[in-house]
Amino acid sequence: MDTGGQWITIAAVLLGALSTHLTNFVMERSRHRRELLTRWDNRKLDAYAGYVDRVRAGIFLAVQLYEHRTGLRESNHSETAMLEEMAEAKRLRGRSFEQIMLLGGDEVVEAAHELNVRVMAVDWQATGEADGSLEEWRQRNRDAFRGINDFHDAARTDLGVRGKVTGGSHPERDLLLPGARRS
């Protein structure tokens, strides 16, 4: 083999090695990006689920306090104890909200802000900081749960989950309320 043929062989080997290296680099980079996206999606899912759990827990505590304060239902807990539980629930909800602020997309953050406004209205009527009738109380709770559904929809979109929680396939449901008491 002459010198020219040897140079062509060396160039072909070098070109093959370079193309193999570039291909491996691009594939490894793509794999790393997929892993990062998956890791962040898992963190987002945990943050979104934790936030909704904290919101719902706070609403249920507000319902207990409201029913106790208005005489709708007796409680084994004192009003002071219930207020302390609500304060702790608000603190935990605030921590969960901060995770939403760090991880969520714009629509998710906006839905969380709107949900916070609705839940605070429930809290304020439960504690007596805002006045209102029983029907206004129920409407505030309906609004809060609609806010949870709006948050679910925004979170599902952010996570790339198809479909919606609200809409034609899932008709709007009202609060589940006990029937009227019989005398």
pLDDT score for 183: 44
Residue 90: left (phi > 0), alpha (psi -120 to 50), or beta?
Answer: alpha
Helix (H, G, I), strand (E, B) or coil at 75: coil
Confidence grade of residue 63 (pLDDT, cut at 50, 70, 90): very high
Q: Which residue has the higher pLDDT, 111 or 27?
A: 111
Does the pLDDT value for residue 124 go beyond 90?
yes
Distance CA 14, CA 120 (A): 67
Residue ranges per domain, the chain?
A: 43-159
Over residues 152-179, the pLDDT tens digits come to 999 999 998 887 776 665 556 666 666 5
Sign of the torsion formed by the C-alpha atoms of 177, 64, 124 and 94: negative
The one-character DSSP state at 170 is B
Instruction: Supply the DSSP symbol for 104.
Output: -
CA 26 to chain centre: 34
Stated pTM of the model: 0.74
Decide: 59 and 93 in contact? Cβ < 8 Å: no
Does residue 116 surpass a pLDDT of 80? yes
The full DSSP string for 115-159 is HHHHHHHHHHHHHTSS---HHHHHHHHHHHHHHHHHHHHHHHHHH
Tens digit of each residue's pLDDT (9 = 90 or more) over 138-147: 999 999 999 9
* Average pLDDT rounded to a whole number, residues 23-46: 78
